[in-house]
Amino acid sequence: MECRKASNLKKCNCSYNPCSRKGLCCECVQSHLSSRELPACFFPDDVERTYDRSFARFAQLVRDRKV
């Protein structure tokens, strides 16, 4: 599968500027899952900026119908 980094970057809402995985979704997902987290793109911008990307926070957003 071809990586579409340029188009992925247009959709990436990660606010962590030094991130080396921006636009490289496969690497980003692997990295976050290894830390038991989800990537920024799973969260609304206001929640993403808190850097709480835990499964629990995502579940709370689903319960509250915010994602």
User: How far is residue 33's CA from residue 17's CA, in Å, rounded to a whole number?
Assistant: 20
| Cβ-contact 22, 12 below 8 angstroms | yes
Query: Is the pLDDT assigned to residue 1 strictly greater than 80?
Result: no
Domain residues for 59? Answer: 5-9+20-63
Domain count, the chain: 1
Residue 34 in any domain: the answer is yes
N residues, the chain = 67
- What are the pLDDT digits (tens) for 26-61? 999 999 999 999 999 999 999 999 999 999 999 999
Burial class (CB in 10 A: 0-12, 13-18, 19+), 39: buried
User: How far is residue 1's CA from residue 50's CA, in Å, rounded to a whole number?
Assistant: 32
Residue 15 in any domain: the answer is no
Tokens 């987290």 correspond to what residue?
37
